[in-house]
Amino acid sequence: MNRDSKTAPTWSIKTLKSPVDGLKIRYGVREMTGDPVHRILLLNGRSEWIEKYADLPDATRYGENALWVSMDHRGQGASEGKRAHVKSYDDFARDVAAVVTKTFGDKPYIIVAHSMGGLIATYGTLKGILDPKGLVLCAPLFGLLIPMPYRLAKLIALVLTLSPFGGIATGAGVDRRKAFKDNPLTQSKKRFEAMTGGPYQASTPTFAWVHATFLATALIYEKKYLKKLTIPVSLIVGEKEAVVDRLVYQAWIDKREKLTGQATRFKLVPGALHELLNESDKYRKSAISFINQAIKKQV
């Protein structure tokens, strides 16, 4: 992950054993000199890895004075575990908590998260597994887009998860990352090729992952959890989002405000696709500006 510049910060790659089951979890700490003014945990999405966002810190205003930490979630990147598989989002969140303890200790931090990382961050915070001072969510996975009736999909996922077939890949969306034309991720060909040509290929999620995601997305709407989410939350999504369900955000935002009295900072980026942090420059700059402002208000 070294940059071309000899003076640019590098990422120190480390591993730890998951407190859940001992799997090796890979994480990265962005080296810096002096004491950090801020601490930022960057949580990526499904089938992503640390290096995909290596240049993000320097793209923000917080490249020099913040300690950035990222990780490969279980089952992706160079972390151990069955690809695109999880039994519960508690496992994801407990892995994240272990990385936080190892890197930030008891110091305050905020989370910047993309897609599935946004669901992990929100779920883990609501469950009390994580304790950030604020959340900045980019196209968070608050709802699945599925090609069949919702109740039927939930039932199928539940039944198969309880059977020996829970670890089998669903086959959903298997071709969406193969060709740049009509892809739902980004309008930047350069960034698309960098993403799809990386060392870790995208994997189709298992039925257990789908079931766990249904449970996690349901929990983040539950009153007993959501009423406790009083920290600052900022949420940004592309207008042409076609990977996660963006139409559920307003209901979540409204319910949170009703329960807590806290408004959620929200931005819809006209014309942008799912990968806001890997989109064409004009869309990416909008997302970076949003992140800068969100962090400024949270620290």
Kindly report the CATH number assigned to the domain that includes residue 62: 3.40.50.1820
| Three-state DSSP class for residue 5 | coil
Q: What is the pLDDT of residue 54?
A: 92
In-domain check, residue 175: yes
pLDDT per residue as tens digits for the range 204-236: 899 999 999 999 999 999 999 999 999 999 999
In-domain check, residue 4: no
Residue 6 has pLDDT above 80, yes or no: no
| pTM for the predicted model, two decimal places | 0.95
CA distances from 240 to 90, 145, 185 (A): 30, 13, 10
Q: What mean pLDDT do residues 268-287 have?
A: 97
- CB-based contacts of 182: which residues, under 8 Å, 6+ apart? none
In-domain check, residue 106: yes
Query: Which range, of 42-51, 125-134, 197-206, averages the lowest pLDDT?
Result: 197-206
- Strands of the chain, DSSP E: 11-17, 24-30, 38-43, 66-71, 110-114, 135-138, 233-238, 265-269
In-domain check, residue 5: no
In-domain check, residue 270: yes
In-domain check, residue 43: yes
In-domain check, residue 268: yes
In DSSP terms, which residues pair with 244 in a beta bridge? 144
In DSSP terms, which residues pair with 14 in a beta bridge? 27
Domain range for 214: 11-298
Q: Tell me if 204 sits within 8 A of 55, measured CB to CB.
A: no
In-domain check, residue 6: no
Please state the domain count of the chain.
1
Residue 199 has pLDDT above 70, yes or no: yes
CA distances from 195 to 87, 202, 211 (A): 26, 9, 27
